[in-house]
Amino acid sequence: MAKMMPELKSSPVVTRYNEGEPVLSKKDIPYEADCIFNAGVVKYQGQYIMAFRNDHGFDGVGAFQYCDIGLAKSGDGVHWKVSDKPFLTVEDLHDPEVTKVYDPRLTVIDGTCYLCFAVDTKHGLRGGIAKTEDFQSIEILSMTVPDNRNMVLFPEKIGGRYVRLERPFPVYSRGGIDRFDIWMSYSCDIKYWGDSRLLMGVEDVPFANDKIGPGAPPVKTEAGWLVLFHTVDIDRNRGKNGWEECWQKRYCAGVMLLDLEDPSKIIGMSKEPLLAPETRYETDDGFRTNVIFPGGLILEEDHTVKIYYGASDTVECLATAKLDDLIALCKPV
């Protein structure tokens, strides 16, 4: 039996931009698009760059025929200009196994931009890492074995190694059901990864009873690495919601702090969600309702942060907060 969840509310320290109206949605895309969500965002070469997921070609029943990654650029992180064609499609992966590419995350390391992404293949779900200097061409550096996804890279080497957070799907040890946790791995070259270890179990998050996973790539602060993650709780009493016959999950955003020198140590975590579904885009209007999926965290010079999140697998939204407030939420564990 999943543990019962209390009412979940967003933290008062976050403010939704424009009361939760999307900053990017299908009307902004100059090519075929239906659901625009779960974006990664980075500041790179003087502008904001967003890589977003585009599910399109609805089959009328419950699935989309296509899923790829598009690009948008912005001078202020709020108003976006979308490139005239998709950035990364299934065809670009040159692998007949791949059926879908989605959920991009962006990190700049030493002046190069890295893209983590998920692919569905005919034999399992995999996490990929690619690099680009110019957002024209892209080089795939590494792909995991199934099943793994939600990978995010730290923006610098720690102790001489690259570090990533990730979310494998260990089914046999967890009773054959969703019961997934946040893991981490290390690499000397971003291609080969190992020294893997558990970072946080789903049971460590009071507002999750199903699974957790990385969200936005970590941001360095004096107090530690600031990390947004996603959490899922299930309530079997939830029935029809959105376009689906039955959708019993709710996705929220959580926040934690990791030790600067040893990021496998959690030094603080908020025991309550940072963002929980509340506005109509988050609870009612989407393909899948009740979903907040954080994918980008930008620290500004004035010590405020921009939090980018997908709402209900349909649109991309923005919230802001003061850095100090987020740090204060991360109580020692």
Q: Which is nearer to ligand BMA, 163 or 291 (CB)?
A: 291
* Sign, CA torsion 11/17/19/21: negative
Residue 156 in contact with residue 139, Cβ under 8 Å?
A: no
Task: Confirm or reject binding of residue 292 to ligand BMA (CB under 6 A).
Answer: no
Task: Confirm or reject binding of residue 34 to ligand BMA (CB under 6 A).
Answer: no
Stretch that binds ligand BMA, among 1-9, 119-127, 131-139, 285-293 (CB under 6 A): 285-293
Stretch that binds ligand BMA, among 155-163, 182-190, 286-294, 316-324 (CB under 6 A): 286-294
Q: Which is nearer to ligand BMA, 5 or 223 (CB)?
A: 5
Task: Confirm or reject binding of residue 308 to ligand BMA (CB under 6 A).
Answer: no
What letter does residue 180 receive in the DSSP assignment? B
Write each residue from 68 to 107 as x if it is in contact with ligand BMA (CB under 6 A), else as -, in one continuous string.
Answer: -----------------------------------x----
DSSP assignments along 93-146, one per residue = G--TTEEEEEEEEEEEETTEEEEEEEEEETTEEEEEEEEESSSSS-EEEEEPPS
In whole angstroms, the minimum distance from the beta carbon of 103 to ligand BMA comes to 5
Q: What is d(CA 204, CA 219) in angstroms, rounded to the nearest whole number?
A: 22
Q: Which is nearer to ligand BMA, 225 or 251 (CB)?
A: 251
Q: Which is nearer to ligand BMA, 103 or 282 (CB)?
A: 103
Q: Which of 288, 296, 297, 318 binds ligand BMA (CB under 6 A)?
A: 288
Stretch that binds ligand BMA, among 28-36, 55-63, 140-148, 288-296 (CB under 6 A): 288-296
- In this structure, which long-range contacts are made by residues 81-86, counting pairs with CB atoms below 8 Å and at least 24 apart in sequence? 82/24, 82/28, 82/29, 82/30, 83/135, 84/30, 84/31, 85/31, 86/31, 86/54
b/e 72-86 (16+ beta carbons within 10 angstroms → b) = bebeebeebebbeeb
Task: Confirm or reject binding of residue 313 to ligand BMA (CB under 6 A).
Answer: yes
CA distances from 304 to 221, 271, 299, 300 (A): 12, 22, 6, 5
Q: Which of 291, 297, 315, 317 binds ligand BMA (CB under 6 A)?
A: 291
Residues that bind ligand BMA (CB under 6 A): 38, 103, 251, 288, 291, 293, 310, 313
